Amino acid sequence: MPRWLWTLIVGLLLVAAYAVLSQHGAIVRSPGVLVPDDPVQVDIAHGTPFPDGDYSITPLANFSLTARVLSRADYSWDRAAALSPTDFAFGWGPMSDSSVLAGLKIWQSGRWYYYQWNTPQPPIPLPEIIHTSANMHMIPADSTVRAQIKRVRVGDIVHLEGELIEARGKDGSIWRSSMSRDDTGDGACEVVYVRSLVVM
């Protein structure tokens, strides 16, 4: 067998093993609402910008959240990966309830969060799904937070504190957080500068 073919096969097996282990790493939870409260947001009138790598960060609101991790996606190749290496899809209220989540397929791709149901109606009304779940781009404030984010598994209940922010790149790019939990589509994700994160 040619060496390149052997290397390719081993590489594919490693990728498949990682995918299986990632799925089995998810935490199973009993039915019932695990996180009853909405995120807390206090808007900042005039945030003072500060640097983070090639970006200027402007705080838009103080933000705290306790939520169930519905999905995670790690990024290393897109333009924002150096600033935000991980996105979490979070759920709270009814979207932290395993009996609700059992009726949904949830996944992430390309910095977006998706869900679908295979029944005539979703397990809860669509406005509730929208209001009690969100895709959030994580910007770790330091190496400690970065390490904590790496350890989070699907199904974990986490508490984080930080700010919703606007990030302006030296290349002229602008990444601005959503300021509402009821929006959808482009621009609906929260961009969170994470000061602390703990698994509950």
Q: How many domains, in total, are found in the chain?
A: 1
Query: Are 41 and 144 in contact, with CB atoms under 8 Å apart?
Result: no
* Residue-range definition of the domain harbouring residue 186: 28-199
pLDDT, averaged across the chain: 90
Evaluate if residue 17 carries a pLDDT over 60.
no
Residue 15 lies in a domain: no
Cα distance between residue 161 and residue 195, in whole Å: 6
Residue 75 lies in a domain: yes
Residue 171 lies in a domain: yes
Percent of the chain past pLDDT 70, that is, above it, reads: 88
Residue 183 lies in a domain: yes
Residue 23 lies in a domain: no
Three-state DSSP at 146 gives helix
CATH code (residue 186): 2.40.50
Q: How would residue 8 be classed by pLDDT, with cut points 50, 70 and 90?
A: low
Q: Which residues pair with 73 in a beta bridge?
A: 87
Residue 18 lies in a domain: no
Residue 102 lies in a domain: yes
Cα distance between residue 187 and residue 165, in whole Å: 13
**Residue range 168-190: average pLDDT?**
94
**Residue range 163-175: average pLDDT?**
94
What does the pLDDT look like over 77-124, one tens digit per residue? 888 899 999 999 999 999 999 999 999 999 999 999 999 998 999 999
Q: How would residue 147 be classed by pLDDT, with cut points 50, 70 and 90?
A: very high
Cα distance between residue 68 and residue 93, in whole Å: 9
**Residue range 54-61: average pLDDT?**
96
pTM given for the model: 0.85
Residue 84 lies in a domain: yes
Strand ranges in the chain using DSSP code E only, listed in sequence order: 40-43, 50-52, 55-74, 86-91, 105-109, 112-116, 133-140, 157-169, 174-176, 190-199
Paired tokens of 60: 């838009």
